[in-house]
Amino acid sequence: MSFTNQEKFVDSPRRWALRGDLLDFTAAPRWGDTEPPAVRFDRDHWLLIEDGRIVGRQAAEPDAGWARKDHAGKLVLPGFIDTHVHCPQLEVIGSYGTELLDWLKRYTFPSECTFADPARSRAGAEVFLDALLASGTTSAVVFPTVHKVSAEALFDSAAARGMRLITGKVLMDRHAPDGLRDDVVQAEKDCVDLIARFHGRDRLAYAVTVRFAPTSTPEQLAMAGALCRADASLYMQTHVAENRAEVAWVAELFPDARSYLDVYERVGLVHERSVLAHGIYLDPHDRVVIADRGAQVAHCPSSNLFLGSGLFDWPGAAFNISLASDVGGGTTLSLPRNMLDAYKVQALRGERMTAWVALHAATRGAAEALQLGREIGGLSVGQTADICVWDWAQGPVAEARDAVARELHERVFAWMTLADERNLAACYVAGQQRI
């Protein structure tokens, strides 16, 4: 199955130049440092783009051989990378009154059941990816549903948009309603087929996708680990230690495991391409394991606040941390909104997070943790031209605030606090304008 909606996209010329205030990172900013050398800010500069890649970054206006997009006075950032988000949960966003396990049963599982229908999967994927782009997110690590067709729809729709997408059929063979369970043999066949067809094609990559420990039998977890061991280029995504009741349930289901994380670790699911969502209730040993393996935690502040899951210890972590929306537990696809929520989570813990730490986690930090740092997450020569252009301020309140900002961090922090998808002026994916 293949489908595109290319007709709505504006083709950019082969060689073109973009003007604006360029902001990205050359390294990870230190916690609490508002003026780190890792920040690279070039006011009123030009990016030169050829065949979808950045080939120049300069102050001087390019010669007449370059077509141009003049975004003077606007903020130019790398496209955001959302490292944990659920395509089929777009419609359960903002569902009232529950914690994680009840929320799955009441809202999420019924919605996910409908993705057995290929037409529904395809329409859901297209709406979802267009919504990501409209939020300034050009790359994502995504959960579809247990249905093979839901992963196919996401891969095909992302390829049609030129997006970098990491996903894989969800594995769940127990503790889920009828219509949302697979079995080990069929699930393995489906994974092998999807890997062969999509992993490494265009900008797509496959993630062995375990929903979470309670919904997979030990046999299925072992199969998932074997897939990862057989091909080190595969990603792995799952949830870990999000909620106290969930952690207690995992301890009951896996009495031999040292911890929740250990359920994954002992079968080979924790490695340098593992994306572990949440990680609120990790113990000190878990933290060392994640750091040693080079895995990352996708921090989901909007979801953690909305579902009342808990407060993630960011400054205490020595492992890679990326930023994620976790829609529909999260209440917005906008990563600036999630940066603000991340700031509030730390404020409740008595800590203060700089705009640099937040922005880095949504761009270069996520790219490095996904082993894609040469490709995405920055505005350097050689990287793919996944670029978003933002209004520094939208509306009278933000304009008044922006007008009095003096230091760069002050200005960017106010932007992060007040911006959302309405600030997005343009979005380019591999050099093609999508918004």
Q: Where are the alpha helices (DSSP H) in 231-326?
A: 244-253, 260-265, 284-293, 301-306
68 CB-contact burial (10 Å; exposed 0-12 / middle 13-18 / buried 19+): middle
Cα separation, 42 vs 58, whole angstroms: 9
CB of 399 to Zn ion, least distance (A): 36
Q: Of all residues in this chain, which one has the CB nearest to Zn ion in the complex?
A: 326
Cα separation, 339 vs 324, whole angstroms: 9
CB of 85 to Zn ion, least distance (A): 8
Q: Which is nearer to Zn ion, 262 or 326 (CB)?
A: 326
Candidates 178, 187, 175, 164; CA nearest to 212 is 175
Rule CB under 5 A: which residues touch Zn ion?
A: 277, 326
Q: Which is nearer to Zn ion, 81 or 277 (CB)?
A: 277
Candidates 225, 152, 224; CA nearest to 187 is 224
**φ, ψ of residue 293 in degrees (nearest 5):** -80, -15
CB of 102 to Zn ion, least distance (A): 15
CB of 427 to Zn ion, least distance (A): 24
CB of 140 to Zn ion, least distance (A): 12
Q: Which is nearer to Zn ion, 54 or 277 (CB)?
A: 277
Specify whether the CB–CB gap between 340 and 395 falls below 8 A. no
Cα separation, 227 vs 188, whole angstroms: 8
Q: Which is nearer to Zn ion, 330 or 365 (CB)?
A: 330
Q: Which is nearer to Zn ion, 143 or 428 (CB)?
A: 143
CA distances from 325 to 11, 213, 218, 322, 342 (A): 29, 21, 29, 10, 11
CB of 189 to Zn ion, least distance (A): 25
Q: Which is nearer to Zn ion, 138 or 304 (CB)?
A: 304
